[in-house]
Amino acid sequence: MAGTLETLQSTIRDRRSGDPASSYVARLTAKGRAKIAQKLGEEAVETVIAAMEGDRAGVTSEAADLLFHLGVLLADMDLGFEDVFAELERREGVSGLDEKAARPQD
């Protein structure tokens, strides 16, 4: 499971500086962070709509789009899924998790 994200992330990092004519990652990256974030938001909304319709295949497909676009955004911010996993693992160690404790230290 995590290996799939690792492979995807590696492909995304590789394609960022690729040819926009043949690579969606390169094309989206060239449009800038605001556009990447907008796409992520759109995929989130599409996931929510599929969920509200009880469309399990739709949620699966939209969630894949969501994770992919999250990967593109993380890469653009010089972050990776390993940073997200580390944060999730940190939270596992926090008892009585509340909003403040859930936030990483600045």
Ligand X SMILES: N=c1c2ncn([C@@H]3O[C@H](COP(=O)(O)OP(=O)(O)OP(=O)(O)O)[C@@H](O)[C@H]3O)c2ncn1[C@@H]1O[C@H](COP(=O)(O)O)[C@@H](O)[C@H]1O
Comparing CB distances to ligand X, the nearer of 35 and 90 is 35
How many binding residues for ligand X (CB under 6 A)? 10
Candidates 42, 14, 41, 47; CA nearest to 29 is 14
> Which tokens go with 66?
């969501």
d(CA 95, CA 97): 5
Q: Whole-number minimum distance, CB 39 to ligand X, in Å?
A: 6
> Which tokens go with 5?
């994200």
Comparing CB distances to ligand X, the nearer of 2 and 98 is 2
Q: Site for ligand X (CB under 6 A): which residue of 9, 44, 65, 70?
A: 65
Residue 9 in contact with ligand X, rule: CB under 6 A: no
Name 34's Cβ contacts closer than 8 Å, sequence gap at least 6.
Answer: none
> Site residues (CB under 6 A) for ligand X?
8, 11, 15, 23-26, 39, 65, 68
